[in-house]
């Protein structure tokens, strides 16, 4: 009986680590993708449409990279998830109300909901 409960706990820890590593890797890539400044770069054009300046592109990239780093450490995972969830919520709002392309908000919305579900799962454990 003791072995069964321990194996479930270890499995939960491994699953938690795999999810956190996947989230961190994804947002590390998303954040780093925002830094290249070529005139034809996708994010340069996108943030031009947003209209608040390219500083916001760098800020968003830094926030995503920092959130990814925070997710990796168990003591700061919740803070990282909260930062990334807020970032995806704002991205959804920007797609819907600023860019006026609500279909593009589906991806950021799904990411936001997934991060919220992960936070909720962590909260219960």
Closest CA to 57 of 37, 80, 79: 37
Split at pLDDT 50, 70, 90, the class of 15 is confident
CA dist 46 and 43 (Å) reads 5
What is the tally of structural domains in the chain? 1
Biggest CA–CA distance in the chain, Å, is 62
Split at pLDDT 50, 70, 90, the class of 7 is low
Residue 1 has a pLDDT of: 45
Residue 125 has a pLDDT of: 64
State pLDDT tens for residues 48-98: 999 999 999 999 999 999 999 999 999 999 999 999 999 999 999 999 999
What's the domain range around 15? 2-124
State pLDDT tens for residues 106-117: 999 999 999 999
The burial class, CB within 10 Å (0-12 / 13-18 / 19+), for 30 is buried
The burial class, CB within 10 Å (0-12 / 13-18 / 19+), for 24 is buried
Q: Is the pLDDT of residue 123 over 90?
A: no
Residue 8 has a pLDDT of: 65
pTM above 0.85, yes or no: yes
């Amino acid at each position: 009986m003791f072995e069964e409960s321990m194996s479930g706990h270890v499995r939960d820890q491994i699953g938690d680590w795999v999810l956190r590593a996947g989230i961190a890797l994804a947002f590390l890539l998303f954040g780093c993708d925002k830094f290249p400044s070529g005139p034809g770069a996708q994010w340069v054009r996108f943030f031009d449409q947003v209209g608040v300046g390219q500083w916001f592109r760098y800020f968003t990239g830094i926030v995503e990279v920092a959130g990814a780093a925070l997710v990796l450490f168990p003591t700061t995972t919740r803070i990282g998830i909260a930062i990334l969830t807020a970032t995806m919520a704002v991205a959804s709002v920007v797609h819907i109300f600023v860019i006026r392309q609500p279909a593009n908000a589906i991806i950021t919305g799904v990411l936001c909901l997934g991060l919220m579900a992960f936070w909720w799962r962590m909260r219960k454990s």
